[in-house]
Structure 1
Amino acid sequence: MTTSQIGIIVSILAYLAMMLLVGFVSSRETNDVKDFYLGGRKLGPFVTAMSAEASDMSSYLLMGVPGLAYFSGIADAGWTAFGLIVGTYLNWLFTAKRLRNYTAEVDAITIPDYFKKRFEDNSNIILCIGALFILVFFVPYTASGFSACGKLFSSLFGVNYQLAMIVSAVIIVGYTTTGGFLAASKTDFIQSIVMTIALFFVVGYGIVSAGGVNAVMENIAALPGFIDVNATYNNAANSADPYGLFSKITMFCWGLGYFGMPHILLRFMAIRNASELKLSRRIASVWVVFSLAIAVFLGVVGRSLTQSGALASLIDIDNLSSSAKAETLIVVLAQKISEHNFLFALLAGLVIAGILASTMSTADSQLIAASSSVSENIIQETLGINLSEAAAMLTARATLIAVAVLGVVIAWDPNSSVFGIVSFAWAGFGAVFGPCMILSLYWKRMNRFGAMAGMISGGAMVFVWKYLVRPLGGVWNLYELAPAFLVSIIFIFIVSLLTKKPSETIIDSFEKVEIKS
């Protein structure tokens, strides 16, 4: 084993030990199921903000976005980042405070539980629909995180991809099952800091290696359309392809997904005081702008180094479908950093820890949300199986492990794309929960039948558009989130207006929350 590898391993082990320690300490504050799933509603504004954004910015922040920018230029990655920035801010502005007040008013600890109590659905149909969709989309989302970990260690140390993925999953499951939501939120806060340091350090190193910002831009100038927001770079033809309004809207629509992300919405519900959400919104908005901008620029810097010959090309133009290899850009740069000396190897290890942080911060939150859907919403409430507090905690942890195992199975193929998997799951959550969440908080006339119709139609349209409509190409090649989101809104309005009005108690609760917000 080389000195550089030893340095990297030392940093990674120190980081992982810290995460497990946080999980152990948090377990002392996790006394019941409500603590396990929502942390007792006692998160401060900084932890709320940074854990929400860290759980959002999964492996696509350090691997997916830079890889996309490296592959085709700044248009795709840049418009996606812009949509995410706008979506983040609007979600904090319009959803956070009302959801916090509403869930406290009706005493809900999960998103499906909120919809059930918001619409007084004693049949538990909404609860079951929501929980099942969380499982359907969170398992592959979690799989993308495991896949990123497998790619990371396989690229770095040449170890077996599947073995690396399993070990990573075991560690994530280890601290999450121990400390639950509180452990996930505290580790996410730490991980957001590690991710930020990793991004700035790697970009700085890349710029210095290229000879400065001017040198970076000169190297990129040889790639037509690479830094043009109105064009994308065609690797096979070494030419620029037009990137029109339709394409921009498609990528910008990523921002719609925020309104339906359970692992982000849970952070809004868990803050100790709704009045602190304004500070959290400012912190989160600033962080997401800087982190995404740096992630896109990292792809540009990496491609510049390839052009100059300082970095081997990560793209095989004879097999462009394997663009997933571009997602290992930050790993390759970390390896270059580690070759200087032991101190640089330790710093490279910090970069790798940043990649782990981006992956783990999302995977742990997804596991918590998926676990709560099965053990709390399906087993206990839908099936009516009453469990003691100890049995409920055991069920929650067992479910979390089972979801992780399914995620490992889905991510077994090393050629799976992190960005591709996240894209589909993101569309699913955005369409199933986004319209229902927004309208449930702001439209008094919405009822449980409209909520059911919105969830089912939104979720179904994601599959229909992805596998039946989008392959037609041309004007139909639109990201599935946008049409599915629109269909869900239409169904909610039509079905709610055609069915019975909400009861007086539902109206009273709505007006009470409206006054507070």
Structure 2
Amino acid sequence: MSVSNPTLITFVIYIAAMVLIGLMAYRSTNNLSDYILGGRSLGSVVTALSAGASDMSGWLLMGLPGAIYMSGLSESWIAIGLIIGAYLNWLFVAGRLRVQTEHNGDALTLPDYFASRFEDKSGLLRIISAVVILVFFTIYCASGIVAGARLFESTFGMSYETALWAGAAATIAYTFVGGFLAVSWTDTVQATLMIFALLLTPIIVLLATGGIDTTFLAIEAQDPSNFDMLKNTTFIGIISLMGWGLGYFGQPHILARFMAADSVKSIANARRISMTWMILCLGGTVAVGFFGIAYFSANPDLAAPVTENHERVFIELAKILFNPWVAGVLLSAILAAVMSTLSCQLLVCSSALTEDFYKTFLRKSASQVELVWVGRAMVLLVALIAIALAANPSNRVLGLVSYAWAGFGAAFGPVVLISVIWKDMTRNGALAGILVGAITVIVWKHFELLGLYEIIPGFIFASLAIYIVSKLGTPTHGMLQRFAAAEADFRLNK
């Protein structure tokens, strides 16, 4: 082990606490609705922090600070885009999706919602959307496992292979046992830990580098263009970074938090809490990477691990600047970010396999107990596949996340957004949107056309496909009735 025991002890206590929460949630999990959506019982605080923590994975404390450390403030466009996208998602989708899923067969998953909302008797819409979830989320899960492995590798001097299993084990344990409630309750703890780490660390780095003036002079001396928001950027580059915000409309693990809120009335308060948390966390992340430039230029003898892999900047600052006990708490925040997102993703994949394949096509008469245990088995299956994908040590966290984020944003984003605000959307329109969005992302990524982030053409083409194909048909009377009832419910209670 490369660090003293206090850090290890802190990690063990933290992991034990998360597993204990999982065991507590186990006692409140009686049926598939409890396991997948927590019985739609989340209050505004848990909804807000769980949505934030499930969104901000290991890239928040590793990928983004590393990008800022390498390139300066020009990489912060991504944070601006995310804040705008998240706010619009809370404003236009959160409350409406909560009531639409309830009015459309009390849907537990996105494929379930699509099938009910558009009266898809063929099962095609359900199958295709569930396949999209499984493909892109398995890649996303792999990114979380890579981030966890990097943390254990650099903190405890483990080999990458050992760190891979160590980082994944705890998350799998509490997700397997406690399901959605365990994931949401632990997310709340993890979100608190993350904001603590991201507010404290930049302050201590500033103090270590001699205050804000000295720090800024050191950053400028290293490279004056670090302050330039337009450094090495093009119009397409900025649009690509801002385009990350479009992804929010289609992320199943975030949308599940809206679906699980106890009522529409909780959404407005949850939005305020979640956006405050998010802005503070992203500000802290940018500050860690930016101030890290000054610290490591003043201490080049300590910079080797960060030079080798810039995604370690937060880890190294925590280890160098803090007492081992405090460092253990701060490094646990990375584990919290990884675990909170990975657990949500595992659960959404498990939900898709259990609700949208097993229950719908294989065992329509399955008991609730059987479905919960099938859900648990699916958590293990998806986790093992993600671990296999993450086995390559050269993987970079932000690269894996960007592909999966674009896949969901383009395939589901337009479908979810338009389905809750436009009554005339049809089943064929939804099908066209999912297929066009997913295919555009895959093709655009492969050919790297125009240097534009694939989510943007994917989102635009999917939206056009939904509109054009929907105009070629008409929604049924039942679809229009349910939409109108849900919209009236939303307006009455928002």
**Do the two structures share a fold, i.e. TM-score over 0.5?**
yes
1:170-216 CA-to-partner distances (Å, cap 9, x unmatched) read: 21110001110000000000000011111122212211111111111
Secondary structure of 2:126's match? helix
Partner of 2:321: 337
Runs (4+) off by over 6 Å: none
Give the CA deviation at 1:74. 1.2
Does the alignment pair 1:121 with 2:120?
yes
Does the alignment pair 1:365 with 2:355?
no
Distance 1:59 1:13 in 2: 19
Distance 2:468 2:11 in 1: 53
1:271-329 CA-to-partner distances (Å, cap 9, x unmatched) read: 1111111000000111111110110111011111111126415565xxxxx7xx11111
Partner of 1:481: 455
Give the CA deviation at 1:383. 4.4
Give, as a single letter, the amino acid of the residue that structure 2 aligns with 1:27. Y
Verify the 8 A CA contact 1:7 1:346 in the aligned structure 2.
yes
RMSD value over aligned CA atoms?
Answer: 1.3
Distance 2:458 2:325 in 1: 46
Secondary structure of 1:225's match? helix
Give the CA deviation at 1:491. 0.8
Verify the 8 A CA contact 1:306 1:313 in the aligned structure 2.
no
Distance 1:10 1:170 in 2: 17
Secondary structure of 2:246's match? helix
Distance 2:183 2:455 in 1: 27
Does the alignment pair 1:452 with 2:431?
yes
Give, as a single letter, the amino acid of the residue that structure 2 aligns with 1:299. G
Does the alignment pair 1:410 with 2:389?
yes
Give the CA deviation at 1:164. 1.3
Give the CA deviation at 1:224. 3.3
Long gaps (5+) in structure 2: none
Verify the 8 A CA contact 1:12 1:349 in the aligned structure 2.
yes
Partner of 2:447: 468
Partner of 2:378: 399
Q: 1:498 aligns with which of 459, 467, 472?
A: 472
Secondary structure of 1:444's match? coil
Does the alignment pair 1:206 with 2:205?
yes
Distance 2:394 2:32 in 1: 38
Distance 1:382 1:304 in 2: 58
Does the alignment pair 1:428 with 2:418?
no
Verify the 8 A CA contact 2:55 2:341 in the aligned structure 1.
yes
Distance 1:385 1:204 in 2: 56
1:1-25 CA-to-partner distances (Å, cap 9, x unmatched) read: 67x5201011111111110010000
Q: 1:279 aligns with which of 269, 285, 309?
A: 269
Partner of 1:319: none
Partner of 1:102: 100
Verify the 8 A CA contact 2:306 2:313 in the aligned structure 1.
no
Secondary structure of 2:452's match? coil
Long gaps (5+) in structure 1: 232-240, 317-321, 339-343, 471-475
Partner of 1:442: 421
Does the alignment pair 1:296 with 2:296?
no
Q: 1:85 aligns with which of 77, 83, 104?
A: 83
Q: How does 1:17-166 map to 2 (within 5 A)?
A: 17-76=16-75, 78-106=76-104, 107-166=106-165
Distance 2:4 2:337 in 1: 21
Does the alignment pair 1:192 with 2:171?
no
Distance 1:433 1:82 in 2: 22
Secondary structure of 1:229's match? coil
Q: How does 1:7-22 map to 2 (within 5 A)?
A: 7-22=6-21
Q: How does 1:366-385 map to 2 (within 5 A)?
A: 366-383=345-362, 385=364
Distance 1:138 1:162 in 2: 22
Partner of 1:512: 485
Verify the 8 A CA contact 2:58 2:397 in the aligned structure 1.
yes
Secondary structure of 1:40's match? coil
Distance 1:299 1:336 in 2: 15
Q: How does 1:317-336 map to 2 (within 5 A)?
A: 325-336=309-320
Distance 1:183 1:389 in 2: 18
Secondary structure of 2:4's match? helix
Give the CA deviation at 1:389. 2.0
1:394-438 CA-to-partner distances (Å, cap 9, x unmatched) read: 211111100000110111111100000000000000001000001
Verify the 8 A CA contact 1:191 1:361 in the aligned structure 2.
yes
Distance 2:90 2:136 in 1: 23
TM-score (norm 2): 0.96
1:125-152 CA-to-partner distances (Å, cap 9, x unmatched) read: 1111110000000001011111011111
Secondary structure of 1:41's match? coil
Give, as a single letter, the amino acid of the residue that structure 1 aligns with 2:37. L
Give, as a single letter, the amino acid of the residue that structure 1 aligns with 2:480. I
Secondary structure of 1:226's match? helix
Partner of 1:473: none
Give the CA deviation at 1:388. 2.1
Distance 1:485 1:368 in 2: 25
Structure 1 stretch displaced more, 200-209 or 409-418: 200-209
TM-score (norm 1): 0.92
Number of residue pairs matched by the alignment: 487
Structure 1 stretch displaced more, 156-165 or 444-453: 156-165
Give, as a single letter, the amino acid of the residue that structure 1 aligns with 2:130. A
Verify the 8 A CA contact 1:435 1:454 in the aligned structure 2.
yes
Does the alignment pair 1:312 with 2:291?
no
Q: How does 1:168-179 map to 2 (within 5 A)?
A: 168-179=167-178
Does the alignment pair 1:220 with 2:219?
yes
1:198-250 CA-to-partner distances (Å, cap 9, x unmatched) read: 1122212211111111111011102131111111xxxxxxxxx3x23221111
% identical aligned pairs: 40
Distance 1:136 1:413 in 2: 18
